[in-house]
Chain A
C-alpha cells in the first residue's frame, strides 16, 4: 500500500505545484518566456488525449526499437559476461574495450550509423544495444565473479564438472546481479532510442519530439516524454516481476 501511496502523493504534490505555478503565469514570468511555452499539467494531459492516436503510432515504433535493442543488449551482454568470466584472456583483452564502448558519445555515433545504415531500424537497435549492454555486461560479470569459492570447492568434491559448476552455482549466484544490470539498462534504453531517432528517422517518439521542438509544440513534447517514461517504467516493472519469479531464494 505504502509502496503506491507515497510515490503517488509525491507526484500529485509536484503536479499540483506545477499546475499552480504555470496557470498563474508565474513560471512564464520567472523564465521570461511566452505563456504557451510553459504548459500546465492540465494542458499536457489534454494534449496527451487529443494526440492519442499520433502518440500511440509513434510510441509503437519506439517501443519496438527499445524492446529489440534491449533484447540484443541482453544477448550481447550475457555473451560478453560469460566469455569474460570463463576465460581470463578474453577478460583482459575485452574489459578495456567494453569500458571504452561507453565513452563513445552517442550524439556523434548516431548520425554516423544513420549515414551508414539509413533511416531503418538497424542504427536504432545498434545505439540502444550499445547503451544497454554495458550495465548488463558489468553487472553480470561481477555477479559471476562473486561466487563463493567454498561453494565451488564443495561442488568439486560432489563430482561436478566445470559446466555443472557454472550451471548450478555460478549462474544462480549471478542472476540477481544480471537483473540489476538489466533494470538499469531498461531505464536508459529510451534515452538511446531518442538519440537514435534524432540522428535520422521518419517515425517514433524521438522524431516527434524533434518536430514539435521546431514548432514550439511544448505541451505535446511533454506528452511524448510522458509516454517514453511510461515505456521505461513498464519495461522496468516487467523485469522486476521476472526477477521475483526467478530469484525466489532472496
Chain B
C-alpha cells in the first residue's frame, strides 16, 4: 500500500510543527525520517496514522484520505514501547486481534507463531516489566506486525537501547522486513540506523519541520550489517546526511 503526503502543514495552537511537507512512499518501501529533537517527527507519524489532522494539505494511505481510513491502514509503534503492564507479553502482541473481536485464545494462537520466529518463545506469559529492553521492543514491534496493517509507522523503535542491543535489533528488524515486507515510515535520530534500515532517508529541519534533503541508501537492510555500514558508499551518504541535519537545525 502506498503512502503520499502532499503539502502538509500542522501546528499545535501557535506552535508550528510542520510546514508544507511532501513525501511519497511506494508500496513496501521503507522511508527513514531523521531530524533534530522536537522538530515534529512524532507529530508527522501521528498525522500519517490518522491520530491527528493536518491543518493544510492531504495525507493518503492507499489512496484513502480520511482519518478513520488512515487509522485502519496504519500500525503505529510509539516512541516508548507502551506495553500494557496488566497483560502478558503475548496478550500485548495480540491486542489488535482482541480489539477486532477475536477470543483471547485465537489472538494468542496468531501471535505465538511470531513469538517463535522472533526468538521470544518461552516468554509468552511473562509480564512486560520482567522482559529486557530489547525483548520489550520486539514485543512492541510484533504488536504492530500482528495487527496485519499494510503501513507501519515506527517511532524511534530502538532509541531506548544500548548500542550493542540496538545493532542486533536493527539486524533483526531488517530480517523481519525481508520476510514480511510492509510500507514503513521509520523515525529515528540515528542517521546510521535510518540509512541501514530504509531505502530512502528524508532529513528534516528544526521546527517547523520540512524536508531539507532526501538520500538514497546504498545497501538497505543488507544481511551483513557490519559490512554494509562500513562500506565507503554508506559512509559517504551518512556524512552527507549529517551535513544536511546540522545545516537544517541551524
A interface residue numbers (CB < 8 A to B): 148, 150-151, 153-161, 164, 168-169, 172, 248-250
Contacts and interface: CB of A to CB of B under 8 A. Distances in A.
Contacts of A153: 46, 51, 76, 78
B37 to A, nearest CB: 17
Contacts of A160: 95, 99
B85 A249 contact: yes
B138 interface: no
A158 B99 CA distance: 7
> Which range contains the number of B residues in contact with the other chain?
20 to 34
Interface of B: 46, 49-51, 71-72, 74-76, 78, 80, 82, 84-87, 95-96, 98-100, 127, 129, 143, 147
Contacts, number: 57
B99 A157 contact: no
Contact of A156 (B71, B86, B98, B143): B71
B62 to A, nearest CB: 16
**Interface class of chain A by DSSP:** helix
A151 B100 CA distance: 17
Given A153-B78, A168-B84, A249 B129 contact: yes
A19 B129 CA distance: 50
B78 A169 contact: no
B86 A249 contact: yes
Of listed A151, A158, A160, A161, residue having the most chain B CB within 10 A: A158
B132 to A, nearest CB: 17
Contacts of A169: 84
Given A150-B82, A249-B127, A249-B129, A159 B51 contact: no
